[in-house]
Amino acid sequence: MPDRVKSERVVLRAPCHADIPAIAALANNRKIHAMTTLPYPYGEKDAQAFVESFARSESEHAYAIVLPDDDLIGMVGLHLNPGADPEIGYWLGEPHWGRGYATEAVGALIGAALATGRCAMVRAKARSENAASRAILEKLEFRFVGETVSASGPHKDVPVSTYELPLAAGTS
């Protein structure tokens, strides 16, 4: 995956130490916690651990979503499980909701994944009640494949919708 991905209105780049205060400020939101696996409260120590240990690891390739002035507005990334298709995840700070930034960022990341020629399918999950997140996936032509109930984690017993997007010919 490239280190930087640019679309019309956003840039995707590696999260860095300078982003820690902005990540913490945006992610420390009950509404985001309710729809993602991010903890609440979410402080600078959480953001620091994310940047230093998780954002770019063997199992994760995360990008900060920034505006052209480098104002951080959220995160998008691919979770990489050996032997499985990558799973895309994303969140956007509440002040930036409803402007199409998440759709644009997810679309840009999908384009970058497609350009590598190394994955045939991308998967995504969203809480079934999260209509906005599901709409993003549907706009980007992800296919709904089913609903399960989360068996563990912060949202145990919550219905989750699973989607997939074939990236290569003949995988649909």
Length of the chain: 172
- What is each CA distance from 57 to 21, 51, 54, 64, 110, in whole angstroms? 21, 10, 6, 15, 19
Question: What is the chain's mean pLDDT, rounded?
Answer: 93
Give φ, ψ of 113 to 5 degrees: -65, -40
Does residue 171 fall inside a structural domain?
A: no
Does residue 172 fall inside a structural domain?
A: no
Check which CATH number belongs to the domain holding 64 and give it: 3.40.630.30
Does residue 147 fall inside a structural domain?
A: yes
Does residue 36 fall inside a structural domain?
A: yes
| Residue span of the structural domain in which 92 resides | 4-166
Total number of domains in the chain: 1
Does residue 68 fall inside a structural domain?
A: yes
Q: Convert the pLDDT of each residue in 49-91 to its tens digit.
A: 999 998 988 889 999 999 999 999 999 999 988 888 999 999 9
Asked whether the beta carbons of 88 and 106 are under 8 A apart, the reply is yes
